[in-house]
């Protein structure tokens, strides 16, 4: 099999196309012929060698992918050859509360990821995907898709009529817009350009705020909600956006911390949280059961993740470079198999 692998270090200079022995499924395992993979911001952190001491080369990158069952090991049932599945982001979190060693089970670091022509996974960690999705669309589900699902469906679950504020227009944000609208929520989105504002409005967002034209976007959110603020905010920005996020969350509302692309350390005014009884909670992707629930919901509602660009397997390093530019609206994917 062929795989892209970091060897001897991280960075573009150490991402190499290598030939490895063909994997063979053991008891309880499935062999997947990989069809597509998708990139997340986290993959840039791994590329830069900034994901902590547990993530070390040699390492096959990327957590999000889809493949077709090519063979099964002894004891595997219900996954006949030809079944199209995604492996779960956390290989050791089936459901319920996260395990204590959560970081140890992540694909794409510290575990080998999916940027290979073939992979073996425990059968209990893969989830069938909806037939209406393309391979590239299906590949976005394990991390980006599930993160959006967990932010909306984990307790307390989203309710019809709820006002949801989504910061940004990355892969998680775009999936969250579609899921929240399918749940009957009113969705407000902030973005960075008029072009992206028009694109996300096309996904069904009720209000899109261009931060470039409206620097005080928090005031705009409050005005659009009769001074009350949003019920739920998907905080994908980080240090630079969190103070304004707190300003535009209603009394008793919740802020779901997902990303930190604008920095790791935020200075916040605690009385604004304490006196208004705000809830801050974090989401780190989700469990295999959550991925299965997401897949069912996408199939039921006919939703389609947004794919902005797809590159061939031979040009995988270029996908990382394009992701760095933040120039593409939607997920960046890599086509692996036919």
Round the average pLDDT of the chain to a whole number and report it.
95
Confidence tier at 50 by pLDDT (50, 70, 90):
confident
Q: Judge whether 55 and 10 are in contact, CB under 8 Å.
A: no
* Residue 279, strand partner residues: 254
List pLDDT tens digits, range 145-182.
999 999 999 778 999 999 999 999 999 999 999 999 99
pLDDT score at 161: 95
Task: Give the rounded distance of the alpha carbon of 135 from its chain centre.
Answer: 16
Burial label for 226, CB within 10 Å (0-12, 13-18, 19+), is exposed
The 3-state secondary structure of 186-255 reads EEEEEECCHHHHHHHHCCCCCEEEECCCCCCHHHHHHHHCCCCCEEEEEECCCCCCHHHHHHCEEEEEEE
pLDDT score at 270: 86
pLDDT score at 262: 67
Q: Give the residue-averaged pLDDT of 257-277.
A: 82
User: What span, in angstroms and rounded, lies between the C-alpha atoms of 257 and 236?
Assistant: 7
**Is residue 67 pLDDT above 90, yes or no?**
yes
> Looking at 69-73, 237-241, 244-248, 332-336, which range is the least confident one?
237-241
Confidence tier at 53 by pLDDT (50, 70, 90):
confident
How is 62-118 classified by DSSP, letter by letter?
Answer: -SEEEEEEEEE-TT--S--TT-EEEE-SBTT--SSSPPTTGGGGBBTTTB--S-BSE
Q: Give the residue-averaged pLDDT of 241-253.
A: 94
pLDDT score at 261: 72
* Rounded-to-5 percentages of helix, strand, coil across the chain: 30, 25, 45
pLDDT score at 192: 86
| CATH class in words for 155-282 | alpha beta
Domain ranges of the chain: 2-143+286-335, 155-282
> Looking at 112-121, 185-194, 270-279, 297-306, which range is the least confident one?
270-279
Please indicate whether the domains covering 2-143+286-335 and 155-282 agree at the CATH topology level.
Answer: no
CATH T-level assignment (fold) for domain 2-143+286-335: Quinone Oxidoreductase; Chain A, domain 1 (3.90.180)
Q: Give the residue-averaged pLDDT of 4-11.
A: 97
Confidence tier at 272 by pLDDT (50, 70, 90):
confident
Q: Give the residue-averaged pLDDT of 197-217.
A: 93
């Amino acid at each position: 099999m062929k795989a892209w692998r970091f060897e001897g270090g991280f960075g573009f200079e150490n991402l190499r196309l290598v030939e490895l022995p063909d994997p063979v499924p053991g008891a309880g395992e499935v062999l997947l012929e990989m069809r597509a993979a998708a990139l997340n911001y986290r993959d840039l952190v791994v590329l830069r060698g900034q994901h902590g001491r547990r993530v070390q080369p040699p390492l096959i990158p990327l957590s999000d992918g889809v493949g077709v069952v090519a063979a099964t090991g002894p004891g595997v049932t219900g996954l006949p050859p030809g079944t199209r599945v995604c492996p779960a982001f956390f290989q050791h979190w089936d459901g319920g509360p996260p395990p204590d060693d959560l970081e140890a089970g992540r694909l794409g670091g510290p575990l080998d990821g999916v940027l290979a022509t073939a992979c073996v996974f425990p059968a209990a960690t893969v989830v069938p995907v909806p037939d209406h999705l393309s391979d590239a669309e299906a590949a976005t589900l394990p991390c980006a898709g599930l993160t959006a699902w967990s932010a909306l469906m984990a307790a307390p679950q989203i309710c019809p009529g709820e006002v949801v504020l989504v910061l940004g227009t990355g892969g998680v944000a775009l999936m969250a817009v579609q899921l929240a609208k399918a749940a009957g929520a009113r969705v407000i989105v902030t973005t960075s350009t008029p072009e992206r504002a028009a694109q996300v409005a096309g996904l069904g967002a009720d209000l899109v705020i261009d931060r470039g034209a409206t620097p005080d976007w928090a005031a705009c959110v409050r005005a659009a909600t009769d001074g009350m603020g949003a019920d739920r905010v998907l905080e994908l920005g980080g240090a630079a956006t969190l103070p304004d996020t707190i300003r535009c969350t209603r009394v008793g509302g919740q802020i779901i911390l997902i990303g930190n692309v604008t920095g790791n350390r935020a200075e916040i005014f605690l009385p604004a949280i304490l006196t208004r009884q705000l809830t801050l909670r974090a989401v780190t992707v989700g469990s295999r059961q959550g991925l299965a629930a997401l897949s069912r919901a996408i199939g039921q509602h006919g939703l389609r993740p947004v794919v902005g660009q797809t590159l061939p397997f031979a040009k995988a390093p270029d996908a990382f470079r394009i992701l760095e530019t933040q120039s593409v609206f939607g997920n960046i994917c890599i086509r692996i198999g036919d």
